[in-house]
A and B are shown apart, each in its own frame.
Chain A
Amino acid sequence: MKGDPIITVRGLRKAFPTNGGELVAIDGLSFEVREGWITAIVGPNGCGKTTLLRILAGLEEPTGGSVEIDGNPIRGPGADRGMVFQEFALFPWRTVLGNVKFGLEVKGVPKDEAEAAAMRFIELVGLKGFEGRYPRELSSGMKQKVAFARALVNDPRVVLMDEPFASLDAQTRNLMQEELLRIWEATGKTILFVTHSVDEAIFLSDEVIVLTQRPARVKKIFNIDLPRPRDRTSLRFNELRRLVLKELSEELRAANGAAY
């Protein structure tokens, strides 16, 4: 049900072996991702945001603690968790349609059915008429829409997005954020994304989780109770921005202090 936890992270630890030691990226991290919500994770650069997302996607194994989806431990990647990569990772040899139907094809869905379903999602993201194009023929914004549609077609429990708007120019970025909200409202999907943009996190999310500098833990969780559509220039929006930025800049300062 909406608002119930889908993903539960408890005491997560992730360490990478290095020359003669280990780099602890995440330590003692706990939080929940709630059904039907958009959750944003913000934190200083290099704090392990992407690592966290990769663990949830099953692309990395945790060193300690537990990560569960619907009460089952996450072991390896699976179609129940869709992922939109920062660089989109479209298959260049497949058309838009070919990319979007990939998951269904792998699942063994009959071709006609898979293509009809893929077309519905291509239409949903506003790319009808482009289904025969190859990725090289698309703009960044369009590529991202394809990546999103490709993840959605599998009807995942949650969509994980790694810095989804980082490689877009400022104008496309705002447009794509609105597109994301429209598609989220149409599908009711649970979305978890990481970003370093506080503005983006507050504009999109129901919940913003601020992480500490490495090793990452939860520093503070903000509930964003602003009604949608949100006005980036409103008083409350900027108040929230200030609160989140304050938490974040403490971490940035600590990170820089440690570095110099």
Chain B
Amino acid sequence: MGRFRGGRAIRWYAKPIPILAAIALWEALAQSGLIPPHALPPFSSIAANFAEEAITGRMAIHLQYSLIRFGAGFLVAASIGVPLGILIGWHGTLRQLIEPFVELLRPIPPIAWIPISLLWFGIGLTSKAFIVFIGALFPILLNTIFGVVSVERVLLEAAMTLGAVKEATLIRKVVIPAAMPSILTGLKVGLGVGWMCIVAAEMVAANFGLGYMIIEARWIHDLPLVITYMLAISLVAYSIDFGFRIAEGRILRWRA
């Protein structure tokens, strides 16, 4: 039955238990020599590496670079994707004209844009932010369009009979709030995809950034350092998602 009911809710302190158990197993396997250190170094050496990178401030520098590139790309994607999605979702004719473009551009992996991005924007911030932009744009755009298209007709009609007859009023007072759950889903997916993209973008033509450090550590055959920065990428993504979910819960209080 658990499969159908999602199981019993576990207590908060039970949640880290599987992770801690996995770490313990990892440590035991590495220490016993069952797994050679050149394949997977023990967790303790990763932890020591992590601490050192954090304390010396090196990680903070790389983190800062990654976050700025990511933030710039994501903000542009959100500020184009949401309004454009509302416009496309609202106007049926426009949707039919634009959808072919979206459907053709969407399957191109963001990473495939790296060469063109370097050509267009050089090796600075812009070319990396552009990759994030491409990665984040489509989930934001498509979810926003979906949200607007799915607004119940009767809600629009109800608003009109209450005097909201201007298009701008309908969009502001009905379409946007009704589509908000989808818009937020789009932003949430966009955050995740965008973050993955920045790491990929930094693996080419970069001198700083979390992604750059993974490639750099590989060149110097420092596997613990590779894993340290993989861990950092994961923790940042987790924190961003965690923060976003809290904000989402507040905004969508009416749904619960």
Contacts and interface: CB of A to CB of B under 8 A. Distances in A.
Most chain B Cβ neighbours within 10 Å, of A79, A91, A151: A91
A83 B161 contact: yes
A93 B162 contact: no
Interface stretch (A26-34, A102-110, A116-124): A102-110
Contacts of B255: 92, 136
Interface string A131-150: 00011100000000000001
A57 interface: yes
B60 interface: no
A135 B177 CA distance: 15
Contact of A91 (B155, B157, B165): B155
B163 A78 contact: yes
Interface in A31-78: 57-59, 76-78
Most chain A Cβ neighbours within 10 Å, of B154, B160, B178, B253: B160
A103 B164 CA distance: 7
A164 interface: no
B111 interface: no
B182 to A, nearest CB: 13
Contacts of A87: 154
A106 B164 contact: yes
Given A87-B154, A92-B255, A77 B161 contact: yes
B218 interface: no
A254 interface: no
A91 B174 contact: yes
A93 B158 contact: no
Interface residues of A, number: 31
Interface string B165-203: 100010001100110100000000000000000000000
A205 interface: no
Given A85-B154, A106-B164, A93 B159 contact: no
Contacts of B159: 91, 102, 106
Given A91-B155, A106-B173, A57 B161 contact: yes
Category for how many chain B residues contact A: 20 to 34
Given A89-B155, A91-B155, A106 B161 contact: no
A106 B169 contact: yes
B162 A151 contact: yes
A77 B165 contact: yes
Contacts of A150: 162
Interface string B37-60: 000000000000000000000000
Contacts of A196: none
A107 B254 contact: no
B180 A89 contact: no
A94 B177 CA distance: 9
Interface in A140-181: 150-151, 154, 160
Contact of A106 (B155, B163, B180): B163
Interface of B: 152, 154-155, 157-165, 169, 173-174, 177-178, 180, 253-256
6 smallest CB-CB distances across A and B, nearest first, come from A79-B163, A89-B158, A77-B160, A83-B161, A103-B162, A89-B154
18 contacts: A58-B160, A76-B160, A77-B161, A78-B161, A78-B163, A79-B162, A81-B161, A82-B162, A91-B159, A93-B180, A102-B162, A102-B164, A103-B162, A106-B163, A106-B164, A106-B173, A151-B161, A160-B161
